[in-house]
Structure 1
Protein backbone atom coordinates (compact mmCIF):
# COMPACT_ATOMS: atom_id res chain seq x y z
CA UNK A 1 0.00 0.00 0.00
CA UNK A 2 1.23 3.47 -0.88
CA UNK A 3 2.18 5.66 2.07
CA UNK A 4 1.41 8.92 0.27
CA UNK A 5 -1.89 10.38 -0.91
CA UNK A 6 -2.96 9.59 -4.47
CA UNK A 7 -5.05 11.91 -6.67
CA UNK A 8 -7.01 11.35 -9.87
CA UNK A 9 -8.86 13.75 -12.15
CA UNK A 10 -12.45 12.79 -13.06
CA UNK A 11 -13.12 14.54 -16.39
CA UNK A 12 -16.65 15.38 -17.47
CA UNK A 13 -17.96 12.99 -20.12
CA UNK A 14 -19.56 14.46 -23.25
CA UNK A 15 -21.71 12.38 -25.59
CA UNK A 16 -21.07 13.95 -28.99
CA UNK A 17 -23.61 11.52 -30.43
CA UNK A 18 -25.99 9.17 -28.63
CA UNK A 19 -28.17 6.61 -30.40
CA UNK A 20 -30.51 4.62 -28.14
CA UNK A 21 -32.48 1.50 -29.01
CA UNK A 22 -35.54 -0.02 -27.33
CA UNK A 23 -35.03 -1.57 -23.90
CA UNK A 24 -34.27 -5.27 -23.77
CA UNK A 25 -35.76 -7.90 -21.48
CA UNK A 26 -33.27 -6.89 -18.79
CA UNK A 27 -34.55 -3.30 -18.84
CA UNK A 28 -31.35 -1.87 -20.30
CA UNK A 29 -31.29 0.19 -23.49
CA UNK A 30 -28.62 -0.58 -26.10
CA UNK A 31 -26.64 2.52 -27.00
CA UNK A 32 -24.15 3.62 -29.62
CA UNK A 33 -22.34 6.75 -28.53
CA UNK A 34 -19.32 8.78 -29.56
CA UNK A 35 -17.81 9.86 -26.23
CA UNK A 36 -15.06 12.35 -25.41
CA UNK A 37 -13.78 13.88 -22.18
CA UNK A 38 -13.25 17.50 -21.13
CA UNK A 39 -10.45 19.23 -19.28
CA UNK A 40 -13.03 20.17 -16.63
CA UNK A 41 -14.26 17.80 -13.96
CA UNK A 42 -14.12 16.56 -10.39
CA UNK A 43 -11.14 15.36 -8.38
CA UNK A 44 -10.59 12.28 -6.23
CA UNK A 45 -7.89 11.97 -3.59
CA UNK A 46 -7.12 8.86 -1.55
CA UNK A 47 -5.16 8.52 1.68
CA UNK A 48 -4.83 6.32 4.72
CA UNK A 49 -7.94 5.67 6.80
CA UNK A 50 -9.89 3.14 8.82
CA UNK A 51 -12.17 1.06 6.62
CA UNK A 52 -13.60 2.88 3.63
CA UNK A 53 -14.82 6.45 4.09
CA UNK A 54 -15.86 9.27 1.77
CA UNK A 55 -15.69 13.01 2.37
CA UNK A 56 -17.47 15.43 0.03
CA UNK A 57 -16.40 18.98 -0.72
CA UNK A 58 -16.66 21.52 -3.51
CA UNK A 59 -19.60 23.41 -5.06
CA UNK A 60 -21.53 20.23 -5.90
CA UNK A 61 -21.06 18.46 -2.57
CA UNK A 62 -24.38 19.45 -1.02
CA UNK A 63 -26.42 17.77 -3.75
CA UNK A 64 -24.75 14.43 -2.94
CA UNK A 65 -25.03 14.52 0.84
CA UNK A 66 -28.42 12.77 0.88
CA UNK A 67 -27.23 9.77 -1.16
CA UNK A 68 -26.98 6.66 1.05
CA UNK A 69 -24.11 5.19 -0.99
CA UNK A 70 -22.24 7.34 -3.47
CA UNK A 71 -20.96 5.61 -6.61
CA UNK A 72 -17.43 6.32 -5.40
CA UNK A 73 -17.93 4.09 -2.35
CA UNK A 74 -19.72 1.50 -4.47
CA UNK A 75 -16.67 1.41 -6.75
CA UNK A 76 -14.31 1.09 -3.78
CA UNK A 77 -16.22 -1.89 -2.39
CA UNK A 78 -16.40 -3.47 -5.86
CA UNK A 79 -12.63 -3.16 -6.30
CA UNK A 80 -11.97 -4.67 -2.88
CA UNK A 81 -14.29 -7.57 -3.69
CA UNK A 82 -12.72 -8.15 -7.11
CA UNK A 83 -9.23 -8.58 -5.62
CA UNK A 84 -10.61 -10.48 -2.61
CA UNK A 85 -8.99 -8.08 -0.14
CA UNK A 86 -11.69 -6.98 2.36
CA UNK A 87 -8.93 -5.74 4.66
CA UNK A 88 -7.98 -2.85 2.36
CA UNK A 89 -8.82 0.58 3.73
CA UNK A 90 -8.73 4.17 2.51
CA UNK A 91 -10.04 7.63 3.18
CA UNK A 92 -11.48 9.08 -0.04
CA UNK A 93 -12.17 12.76 -0.73
CA UNK A 94 -14.37 13.83 -3.65
CA UNK A 95 -14.06 17.46 -4.73
CA UNK A 96 -17.28 17.94 -6.71
CA UNK A 97 -17.30 20.60 -9.44
CA UNK A 98 -19.52 19.07 -12.16
CA UNK A 99 -23.27 19.44 -11.44
CA UNK A 100 -25.28 16.34 -10.52
CA UNK A 101 -27.87 14.85 -12.92
CA UNK A 102 -26.42 16.96 -15.71
CA UNK A 103 -25.74 14.50 -18.53
CA UNK A 104 -21.98 14.75 -18.04
CA UNK A 105 -21.38 11.39 -16.40
CA UNK A 106 -20.26 13.00 -13.15
CA UNK A 107 -21.04 10.08 -10.86
CA UNK A 108 -19.58 7.56 -13.29
CA UNK A 109 -16.45 9.67 -13.81
CA UNK A 110 -16.02 9.93 -10.04
CA UNK A 111 -16.38 6.16 -9.62
CA UNK A 112 -13.89 5.55 -12.44
CA UNK A 113 -11.37 7.98 -10.94
CA UNK A 114 -11.79 6.26 -7.57
CA UNK A 115 -10.99 2.90 -9.18
CA UNK A 116 -7.83 4.31 -10.77
CA UNK A 117 -6.76 6.09 -7.59
CA UNK A 118 -7.43 3.15 -5.27
CA UNK A 119 -5.64 0.72 -7.61
CA UNK A 120 -2.56 2.93 -7.35
CA UNK A 121 -2.93 3.54 -3.63
CA UNK A 122 -3.37 -0.15 -2.86
CA UNK A 123 -0.62 -1.01 -5.38
CA UNK A 124 -2.83 -3.41 -7.31
CA UNK A 125 -1.49 -4.74 -10.60
CA UNK A 126 -4.61 -4.11 -12.66
CA UNK A 127 -4.87 -2.81 -16.23
CA UNK A 128 -7.34 -0.18 -17.41
CA UNK A 129 -9.27 -2.98 -19.11
CA UNK A 130 -9.53 -4.89 -15.82
CA UNK A 131 -10.62 -1.77 -13.95
CA UNK A 132 -13.24 -1.11 -16.63
CA UNK A 133 -14.61 -4.63 -16.16
CA UNK A 134 -14.89 -4.04 -12.43
CA UNK A 135 -16.50 -0.67 -13.13
CA UNK A 136 -19.20 -2.30 -15.25
CA UNK A 137 -20.86 -3.64 -12.09
CA UNK A 138 -20.95 -0.11 -10.65
CA UNK A 139 -22.65 1.63 -13.59
CA UNK A 140 -23.06 1.43 -17.36
CA UNK A 141 -20.97 4.55 -18.04
CA UNK A 142 -18.13 3.67 -15.66
CA UNK A 143 -16.08 1.56 -18.11
CA UNK A 144 -15.92 4.45 -20.59
CA UNK A 145 -14.92 6.83 -17.81
CA UNK A 146 -12.16 4.47 -16.65
CA UNK A 147 -10.53 4.92 -20.06
CA UNK A 148 -11.35 8.67 -20.27
CA UNK A 149 -10.30 9.02 -23.91
CA UNK A 150 -12.21 9.37 -27.20
CA UNK A 151 -14.15 6.14 -27.72
CA UNK A 152 -17.22 4.46 -29.08
CA UNK A 153 -19.52 3.06 -26.41
CA UNK A 154 -21.97 0.30 -27.35
CA UNK A 155 -24.00 -2.46 -25.71
CA UNK A 156 -25.47 -0.98 -22.55
CA UNK A 157 -22.26 1.05 -22.26
CA UNK A 158 -19.87 -1.71 -21.27
CA UNK A 159 -18.45 -2.32 -24.76
CA UNK A 160 -15.61 0.12 -25.32
CA UNK A 161 -13.71 0.76 -28.56
CA UNK A 162 -11.08 3.52 -28.19
CA UNK A 163 -10.75 5.73 -31.25
CA UNK A 164 -7.39 5.68 -33.01
CA UNK A 165 -8.04 8.84 -35.05
CA UNK A 166 -9.92 11.73 -33.51
CA UNK A 167 -8.85 15.38 -33.07
CA UNK A 168 -9.12 17.53 -29.98
CA UNK A 169 -12.11 19.89 -30.09
CA UNK A 170 -12.84 23.21 -28.43
CA UNK A 171 -16.27 23.65 -26.93
CA UNK A 172 -18.52 25.43 -24.47
CA UNK A 173 -20.53 23.40 -21.96
CA UNK A 174 -23.63 25.10 -20.58
CA UNK A 175 -25.90 23.84 -17.83
CA UNK A 176 -29.06 25.84 -17.03
CA UNK A 177 -29.03 24.79 -13.39
CA UNK A 178 -31.89 22.30 -13.53
CA UNK A 179 -31.37 18.60 -12.75
CA UNK A 180 -32.90 16.10 -15.15
CA UNK A 181 -33.60 12.55 -13.94
CA UNK A 182 -32.19 10.01 -16.39
CA UNK A 183 -34.99 7.58 -15.52
CA UNK A 184 -37.66 10.12 -16.50
CA UNK A 185 -35.96 10.88 -19.82
CA UNK A 186 -35.71 7.22 -20.76
CA UNK A 187 -39.35 6.62 -19.84
CA UNK A 188 -40.40 9.52 -22.06
CA UNK A 189 -38.17 8.22 -24.84
CA UNK A 190 -39.65 4.72 -24.57
CA UNK A 191 -43.10 6.22 -25.16
CA UNK A 192 -41.93 7.43 -28.59
CA UNK A 193 -41.41 3.85 -29.85
CA UNK A 194 -37.61 3.77 -30.37
CA UNK A 195 -36.25 1.83 -33.33
CA UNK A 196 -33.65 -0.95 -33.28
CA UNK A 197 -30.18 0.52 -33.69
CA UNK A 198 -28.70 0.41 -37.16
CA UNK A 199 -25.21 -0.94 -37.74
CA UNK A 200 -22.86 1.97 -38.41
CA UNK A 201 -19.11 2.21 -39.10
CA UNK A 202 -16.79 3.25 -36.26
CA UNK A 203 -16.06 6.99 -35.98
CA UNK A 204 -12.75 8.21 -37.38
CA UNK A 205 -11.51 11.69 -38.18
CA UNK A 206 -8.10 13.21 -38.72
CA UNK A 207 -9.18 16.85 -38.76
CA UNK A 208 -11.66 19.07 -36.94
CA UNK A 209 -13.72 19.45 -40.13
CA UNK A 210 -13.96 15.69 -40.54
CA UNK A 211 -14.95 15.34 -36.90
CA UNK A 212 -17.65 17.98 -37.24
CA UNK A 213 -19.05 16.11 -40.25
CA UNK A 214 -19.20 12.90 -38.23
CA UNK A 215 -20.93 14.58 -35.30
CA UNK A 216 -23.39 16.48 -37.51
CA UNK A 217 -24.40 13.22 -39.19
CA UNK A 218 -25.37 11.81 -35.81
CA UNK A 219 -27.81 12.90 -33.14
CA UNK A 220 -28.78 12.53 -29.50
CA UNK A 221 -31.92 10.38 -29.58
CA UNK A 222 -32.84 11.44 -26.05
CA UNK A 223 -32.78 15.17 -26.80
CA UNK A 224 -36.40 15.64 -28.00
CA UNK A 225 -37.82 13.75 -25.01
CA UNK A 226 -35.57 15.62 -22.56
CA UNK A 227 -36.55 18.97 -24.09
CA UNK A 228 -40.21 18.09 -23.67
CA UNK A 229 -39.66 17.32 -19.98
CA UNK A 230 -37.41 20.32 -19.35
CA UNK A 231 -37.88 23.41 -21.60
CA UNK A 232 -34.66 24.91 -20.24
CA UNK A 233 -32.75 22.49 -22.49
CA UNK A 234 -34.24 24.02 -25.64
CA UNK A 235 -33.46 27.48 -24.25
CA UNK A 236 -29.86 26.44 -23.62
CA UNK A 237 -29.43 25.06 -27.12
CA UNK A 238 -30.91 28.21 -28.65
CA UNK A 239 -28.49 30.38 -26.67
CA UNK A 240 -25.50 28.24 -27.68
CA UNK A 241 -26.44 28.25 -31.36
CA UNK A 242 -26.68 32.03 -31.29
CA UNK A 243 -23.04 32.39 -30.18
CA UNK A 244 -20.65 33.72 -32.80
CA UNK A 245 -18.59 30.89 -34.26
CA UNK A 246 -20.79 28.04 -33.00
CA UNK A 247 -20.48 25.17 -35.46
CA UNK A 248 -22.88 22.74 -33.79
CA UNK A 249 -24.83 22.54 -30.52
CA UNK A 250 -26.36 19.45 -28.92
CA UNK A 251 -27.43 18.02 -25.59
CA UNK A 252 -25.05 15.64 -23.79
CA UNK A 253 -26.30 12.37 -22.32
CA UNK A 254 -29.79 12.69 -20.85
CA UNK A 255 -29.35 16.42 -20.17
CA UNK A 256 -29.68 19.09 -19.09
CA UNK A 257 -26.12 20.05 -20.02
CA UNK A 258 -25.52 21.02 -23.65
CA UNK A 259 -22.38 21.73 -25.63
CA UNK A 260 -21.41 23.90 -28.57
CA UNK A 261 -18.40 23.20 -30.78
CA UNK A 262 -16.08 25.91 -32.12
CA UNK A 263 -13.15 26.09 -34.51
CA UNK A 264 -10.58 26.88 -31.84
CA UNK A 265 -9.96 27.75 -28.19
CA UNK A 266 -10.17 31.50 -28.76
CA UNK A 267 -13.65 31.26 -30.30
CA UNK A 268 -14.84 28.93 -27.52
CA UNK A 269 -13.61 31.28 -24.79
CA UNK A 270 -15.25 34.25 -26.48
CA UNK A 271 -18.50 32.30 -26.74
CA UNK A 272 -18.36 31.29 -23.07
CA UNK A 273 -17.72 34.89 -22.01
CA UNK A 274 -20.65 36.14 -24.08
CA UNK A 275 -23.03 33.51 -22.72
CA UNK A 276 -21.91 34.02 -19.11
CA UNK A 277 -22.60 37.74 -19.46
CA UNK A 278 -26.21 37.15 -20.51
CA UNK A 279 -26.89 34.09 -18.32
CA UNK A 280 -24.90 34.51 -15.10
CA UNK A 281 -27.23 32.00 -13.40
CA UNK A 282 -26.05 29.17 -15.66
CA UNK A 283 -22.91 27.06 -15.34
CA UNK A 284 -20.88 27.93 -18.44
CA UNK A 285 -17.40 26.52 -19.13
CA UNK A 286 -15.07 26.76 -22.12
CA UNK A 287 -13.45 23.33 -22.43
CA UNK A 288 -11.06 21.35 -24.55
CA UNK A 289 -12.29 17.88 -25.50
CA UNK A 290 -9.16 15.74 -25.73
CA UNK A 291 -8.36 13.90 -28.94
CA UNK A 292 -7.03 10.40 -29.46
CA UNK A 293 -3.43 9.86 -28.45
CA UNK A 294 -1.38 8.12 -31.10
Structure 2
Protein backbone atom coordinates (compact mmCIF):
# COMPACT_ATOMS: atom_id res chain seq x y z
CA UNK A 1 0.00 0.00 0.00
CA UNK A 2 1.22 3.50 -0.89
CA UNK A 3 0.06 6.88 0.34
CA UNK A 4 0.92 10.49 -0.59
CA UNK A 5 1.05 13.48 1.77
CA UNK A 6 1.92 17.13 1.11
CA UNK A 7 4.32 18.83 3.49
CA UNK A 8 3.85 22.61 3.18
CA UNK A 9 6.44 25.16 4.23
CA UNK A 10 5.73 27.84 6.83
CA UNK A 11 6.62 31.48 7.27
CA UNK A 12 6.67 33.58 10.43
CA UNK A 13 4.63 36.76 10.10
CA UNK A 14 5.82 37.76 13.56
CA UNK A 15 8.48 36.12 15.72
CA UNK A 16 9.45 37.23 19.21
CA UNK A 17 11.77 35.59 21.74
CA UNK A 18 10.85 36.42 25.33
CA UNK A 19 13.53 34.71 27.42
CA UNK A 20 15.72 31.65 27.79
CA UNK A 21 14.05 28.87 29.77
CA UNK A 22 15.63 26.69 32.46
CA UNK A 23 15.41 23.71 30.07
CA UNK A 24 17.70 25.47 27.58
CA UNK A 25 14.97 26.31 25.07
CA UNK A 26 13.83 29.84 24.36
CA UNK A 27 10.32 31.05 25.19
CA UNK A 28 8.80 32.32 21.95
CA UNK A 29 5.66 34.07 20.79
CA UNK A 30 5.09 33.92 17.07
CA UNK A 31 2.50 33.85 14.33
CA UNK A 32 3.05 31.14 11.75
CA UNK A 33 1.31 30.49 8.45
CA UNK A 34 1.63 27.64 5.98
CA UNK A 35 2.23 28.47 2.33
CA UNK A 36 1.58 26.51 -0.85
CA UNK A 37 5.22 25.57 -1.38
CA UNK A 38 5.37 21.94 -0.33
CA UNK A 39 7.51 18.81 -0.30
CA UNK A 40 5.89 15.56 -1.45
CA UNK A 41 6.03 12.60 0.91
CA UNK A 42 5.27 9.12 -0.46
CA UNK A 43 4.86 6.33 2.10
CA UNK A 44 5.10 2.69 1.08
CA UNK A 45 4.50 -0.13 3.54
CA UNK A 46 7.32 -2.64 4.07
CA UNK A 47 7.03 -6.16 5.46
CA UNK A 48 10.60 -6.27 6.81
CA UNK A 49 10.00 -3.75 9.62
CA UNK A 50 12.66 -1.34 8.33
CA UNK A 51 12.38 2.46 8.01
CA UNK A 52 13.99 3.57 4.76
CA UNK A 53 14.42 7.19 3.62
CA UNK A 54 14.61 7.79 -0.13
CA UNK A 55 15.66 11.22 -1.38
CA UNK A 56 17.62 12.50 -4.35
CA UNK A 57 18.61 15.68 -2.52
CA UNK A 58 22.15 15.37 -1.18
CA UNK A 59 21.36 17.70 1.72
CA UNK A 60 18.62 15.42 3.07
CA UNK A 61 19.96 12.79 5.52
CA UNK A 62 18.76 9.23 4.92
CA UNK A 63 19.25 8.01 8.49
CA UNK A 64 18.03 8.77 12.01
CA UNK A 65 19.04 12.43 11.66
CA UNK A 66 16.08 12.87 9.32
CA UNK A 67 12.99 14.15 11.17
CA UNK A 68 10.66 12.05 9.01
CA UNK A 69 12.67 8.97 10.05
CA UNK A 70 12.34 10.04 13.68
CA UNK A 71 8.56 10.46 13.26
CA UNK A 72 8.20 6.95 11.82
CA UNK A 73 10.47 5.44 14.48
CA UNK A 74 8.52 7.13 17.29
CA UNK A 75 5.15 5.88 16.03
CA UNK A 76 6.54 2.40 15.38
CA UNK A 77 7.92 2.04 18.90
CA UNK A 78 5.05 3.68 20.76
CA UNK A 79 2.31 1.66 19.08
CA UNK A 80 4.24 -1.60 18.60
CA UNK A 81 3.97 -1.55 14.82
CA UNK A 82 5.67 -4.55 13.22
CA UNK A 83 5.56 -3.23 9.66
CA UNK A 84 8.13 -0.89 8.21
CA UNK A 85 7.90 1.97 5.73
CA UNK A 86 9.79 3.49 2.84
CA UNK A 87 9.58 7.29 2.98
CA UNK A 88 10.27 8.97 -0.34
CA UNK A 89 10.87 12.72 0.04
CA UNK A 90 10.66 14.94 -3.02
CA UNK A 91 12.03 18.31 -1.93
CA UNK A 92 10.55 21.56 -3.17
CA UNK A 93 11.19 23.52 0.04
CA UNK A 94 14.81 24.73 0.24
CA UNK A 95 16.89 22.99 2.93
CA UNK A 96 18.08 24.93 6.02
CA UNK A 97 15.99 27.89 4.93
CA UNK A 98 13.91 28.91 7.96
CA UNK A 99 10.80 27.42 6.31
CA UNK A 100 10.43 24.30 8.52
CA UNK A 101 10.88 21.89 5.62
CA UNK A 102 12.23 19.07 7.78
CA UNK A 103 9.58 19.64 10.45
CA UNK A 104 6.83 19.61 7.83
CA UNK A 105 8.19 16.37 6.36
CA UNK A 106 7.99 14.85 9.85
CA UNK A 107 4.45 16.16 10.34
CA UNK A 108 3.34 14.77 6.98
CA UNK A 109 4.90 11.43 7.90
CA UNK A 110 2.93 11.38 11.17
CA UNK A 111 -0.35 12.15 9.36
CA UNK A 112 0.37 9.63 6.62
CA UNK A 113 1.46 6.77 8.86
CA UNK A 114 -1.60 7.33 11.03
CA UNK A 115 -3.59 6.29 7.96
CA UNK A 116 -1.17 3.70 6.55
CA UNK A 117 -0.80 1.87 9.87
CA UNK A 118 -4.46 2.51 10.86
CA UNK A 119 -3.52 3.96 14.24
CA UNK A 120 -6.71 5.98 14.63
CA UNK A 121 -5.00 8.96 16.28
CA UNK A 122 -6.56 12.43 16.30
CA UNK A 123 -4.81 15.51 14.93
CA UNK A 124 -4.28 16.71 18.51
CA UNK A 125 -2.66 13.40 19.47
CA UNK A 126 -0.37 13.56 16.44
CA UNK A 127 0.56 17.15 17.30
CA UNK A 128 1.50 16.14 20.84
CA UNK A 129 3.72 13.37 19.47
CA UNK A 130 5.20 15.86 17.00
CA UNK A 131 6.36 18.09 19.87
CA UNK A 132 8.74 15.30 20.93
CA UNK A 133 10.47 15.50 17.54
CA UNK A 134 10.86 19.26 17.18
CA UNK A 135 9.34 22.58 18.19
CA UNK A 136 7.91 23.36 14.73
CA UNK A 137 6.48 19.88 14.13
CA UNK A 138 3.38 20.54 16.24
CA UNK A 139 2.37 23.53 14.12
CA UNK A 140 3.17 21.65 10.90
CA UNK A 141 0.85 18.80 11.93
CA UNK A 142 -2.00 21.32 12.13
CA UNK A 143 -1.03 23.75 9.36
CA UNK A 144 -3.11 26.83 8.61
CA UNK A 145 -2.39 29.95 10.65
CA UNK A 146 -1.63 29.93 14.36
CA UNK A 147 -0.21 31.69 17.38
CA UNK A 148 2.62 29.54 18.75
CA UNK A 149 3.99 29.97 22.26
CA UNK A 150 6.12 28.01 24.74
CA UNK A 151 9.06 26.73 22.71
CA UNK A 152 6.71 26.73 19.72
CA UNK A 153 4.72 23.62 20.62
CA UNK A 154 1.68 25.40 22.15
CA UNK A 155 -0.43 26.16 19.10
CA UNK A 156 -3.66 28.15 18.93
CA UNK A 157 -5.44 28.37 15.61
CA UNK A 158 -6.34 31.85 14.34
CA UNK A 159 -8.16 33.03 11.17
CA UNK A 160 -6.39 33.09 7.79
CA UNK A 161 -4.34 36.23 7.04
CA UNK A 162 -5.59 38.80 4.51
CA UNK A 163 -5.37 37.54 0.92
CA UNK A 164 -1.93 38.26 -0.54
CA UNK A 165 1.03 36.98 -2.51
CA UNK A 166 4.20 35.83 -0.75
CA UNK A 167 7.45 36.10 -2.75
CA UNK A 168 10.28 34.09 -1.19
CA UNK A 169 13.98 34.26 -1.94
CA UNK A 170 16.70 32.09 -0.41
CA UNK A 171 20.37 32.95 -0.89
CA UNK A 172 22.86 30.14 -1.50
CA UNK A 173 23.81 29.84 2.16
CA UNK A 174 22.56 27.83 5.11
CA UNK A 175 21.97 29.27 8.56
CA UNK A 176 22.45 27.44 11.85
CA UNK A 177 19.42 28.04 14.07
CA UNK A 178 21.51 27.19 17.15
CA UNK A 179 24.14 29.78 16.16
CA UNK A 180 21.48 32.46 15.71
CA UNK A 181 19.89 31.79 19.10
CA UNK A 182 23.30 31.60 20.81
CA UNK A 183 24.13 35.08 19.48
CA UNK A 184 20.77 36.61 20.39
CA UNK A 185 21.10 39.42 22.96
CA UNK A 186 17.62 39.93 24.39
CA UNK A 187 18.76 42.98 26.35
CA UNK A 188 19.42 44.84 23.12
CA UNK A 189 16.64 44.06 20.63
CA UNK A 190 13.44 45.63 19.38
CA UNK A 191 10.58 43.23 20.04
CA UNK A 192 7.96 42.88 17.31
CA UNK A 193 4.31 43.72 17.98
CA UNK A 194 2.88 40.19 17.93
CA UNK A 195 -0.41 41.37 19.43
CA UNK A 196 -0.70 43.99 16.70
CA UNK A 197 -0.25 41.27 14.08
CA UNK A 198 -2.93 39.20 15.81
CA UNK A 199 -5.29 42.16 15.64
CA UNK A 200 -4.56 42.68 11.93
CA UNK A 201 -5.35 39.05 11.15
CA UNK A 202 -8.53 38.99 13.24
CA UNK A 203 -9.70 42.19 11.53
CA UNK A 204 -8.53 41.01 8.08
CA UNK A 205 -6.65 44.31 7.75
CA UNK A 206 -3.96 44.04 5.06
CA UNK A 207 -2.35 47.43 5.72
CA UNK A 208 -2.13 46.76 9.44
CA UNK A 209 -0.69 43.29 8.78
CA UNK A 210 2.09 44.64 6.56
CA UNK A 211 2.93 47.30 9.16
CA UNK A 212 3.25 44.77 11.98
CA UNK A 213 5.63 42.16 10.52
CA UNK A 214 8.67 41.61 12.69
CA UNK A 215 11.30 39.02 13.57
CA UNK A 216 13.60 39.49 16.55
CA UNK A 217 16.11 36.99 15.08
CA UNK A 218 16.91 39.41 12.25
CA UNK A 219 19.06 41.29 14.77
CA UNK A 220 21.50 38.38 14.62
CA UNK A 221 21.17 36.87 11.13
CA UNK A 222 21.41 40.14 9.19
CA UNK A 223 24.74 40.89 10.89
CA UNK A 224 26.16 37.39 10.40
CA UNK A 225 24.97 37.03 6.80
CA UNK A 226 25.02 40.27 4.74
CA UNK A 227 23.43 38.38 1.80
CA UNK A 228 20.16 38.26 3.74
CA UNK A 229 20.18 42.02 4.33
CA UNK A 230 20.89 42.56 0.63
CA UNK A 231 17.85 40.52 -0.41
CA UNK A 232 15.68 42.44 2.06
CA UNK A 233 16.84 45.74 0.56
CA UNK A 234 16.19 44.55 -2.99
CA UNK A 235 12.69 43.33 -2.18
CA UNK A 236 11.85 46.72 -0.72
CA UNK A 237 13.21 48.48 -3.81
CA UNK A 238 11.15 46.22 -6.08
CA UNK A 239 7.99 47.32 -4.27
CA UNK A 240 7.00 44.76 -1.63
CA UNK A 241 4.54 46.13 0.93
CA UNK A 242 6.40 44.35 3.74
CA UNK A 243 9.64 42.34 3.85
CA UNK A 244 10.75 39.94 6.57
CA UNK A 245 13.12 37.06 7.21
CA UNK A 246 11.40 33.78 8.05
CA UNK A 247 12.50 31.89 11.17
CA UNK A 248 16.24 32.08 11.74
CA UNK A 249 16.74 32.63 8.01
CA UNK A 250 18.18 32.88 5.50
CA UNK A 251 14.95 32.97 3.44
CA UNK A 252 13.36 36.39 3.05
CA UNK A 253 9.77 36.96 1.98
CA UNK A 254 7.89 39.94 0.63
CA UNK A 255 4.14 40.50 0.89
CA UNK A 256 2.15 42.04 -1.98
CA UNK A 257 -1.49 42.14 -3.05
CA UNK A 258 -1.33 42.76 -6.78
CA UNK A 259 -0.25 40.25 -9.44
CA UNK A 260 1.70 42.83 -11.45
CA UNK A 261 3.88 43.81 -8.50
CA UNK A 262 4.37 40.16 -7.53
CA UNK A 263 5.73 39.45 -11.03
CA UNK A 264 8.01 42.49 -10.89
CA UNK A 265 9.52 41.41 -7.56
CA UNK A 266 9.80 37.77 -8.66
CA UNK A 267 11.54 38.64 -11.93
CA UNK A 268 13.83 41.17 -10.27
CA UNK A 269 15.00 38.68 -7.66
CA UNK A 270 15.56 35.94 -10.25
CA UNK A 271 18.32 38.13 -11.67
CA UNK A 272 20.63 37.37 -8.74
CA UNK A 273 18.97 34.67 -6.61
CA UNK A 274 18.42 31.08 -7.83
CA UNK A 275 15.71 30.02 -5.38
CA UNK A 276 12.74 32.37 -5.77
CA UNK A 277 9.08 31.40 -5.34
CA UNK A 278 5.75 33.20 -5.57
CA UNK A 279 3.10 31.48 -3.46
CA UNK A 280 -0.10 32.00 -1.47
CA UNK A 281 -0.68 31.46 2.23
CA UNK A 282 -2.83 28.43 3.09
CA UNK A 283 -5.52 29.58 5.47
CA UNK A 284 -7.17 26.31 6.38
CA UNK A 285 -6.01 23.80 8.96
CA UNK A 286 -5.20 20.22 7.96
CA UNK A 287 -7.74 17.46 8.37
CA UNK A 288 -7.33 13.70 8.64
CA UNK A 289 -9.86 12.93 5.89
Q: What is the TM-score when the length of structure 2 is the normalising length?
A: 0.90
| Structure 2 counterparts to residues 135-174 of structure 1, below 5 A | 135-164=130-159, 166-174=161-169
Using the alignment, how far apart are the partners of 2:169 and 2:70 within structure 1?
29
Say yes or no: does 1:65 pair with 2:61: yes
Task: Give 1:54's match in structure 2, choosing from 52, 55, 58.
Answer: 52
After TM superposition, the structure 1 stretch with the greater mean CA deviation from structure 2, 91-100 or 212-221, is: 212-221
Q: Hey, what does 1:90 align to over in structure 2?
A: 85
For residues 224-243 of structure 1, the aligned pairs below 5 Å read 224-243=219-238
How many angstroms apart in 2 are the aligned matches of 1:132 and 1:225? Answer: 30
* Equivalent position of 2:282 in the other structure: 290
* Partner SS for 1:46: strand
Which residue of 100, 105, 109 maps to 2:100?
105
Unaligned runs of 5+ in 2: none
1:269 is matched with which residue? 263
8 A contact 1:76–1:114 mirrored in 2: yes
Q: How does 1:212-251 map to 2 (within 5 A)?
A: 212-244=207-239, 246-251=240-245
Check the 8 A contact 1:163/1:292 in 2, yes or no: no
Which of 79, 82, 91 is matched with 2:75 structurally? 79
CA contact (8 A) 1:168 1:290 kept: no
Contact 2:246 2:252 in 1 (8 A): yes
Partner Cα distance (2:91, 2:184) in 1: 29
Residues of 1 paired with 2:95 and 2:187: CA distance? 26
The counterpart of 2:23, out of the listed 12, 21, 26, is 26
Match of 1:183 in 2: 178
Tell whether 2:5 aligns with 1:13: no
Q: Distance in 1 between matches of 2:190 and 2:89?
A: 39
Question: Is the CA contact 1:170–1:263 (under 8 Å) kept in the aligned structure 2?
Answer: yes
Please, what is the CA RMSD of the aligned residues?
2.4
1:22–1:215 distance in 2 versus 1, CA, 3 Å: farther
For 2:162 and 2:150, how far apart are their aligned partners in 1? Answer: 25
Q: What's the offset of the Cα at 1:21? A: 1.6
SS at match of 2:238: coil
TM-score, reference length from structure 1: 0.88
- Do the aligned residues in 1 keep the contact of 2:194 with 2:212 (CA within 8 Å)? no
Once residues 273 and 109 of structure 1 are traced to their aligned partners in structure 2, the CA distance between those partners, rounded to angstroms, is 28
Structure 1: 5+ residue stretches without partners:
none
How far 1:201 sits from its partner (Å)?
7.2
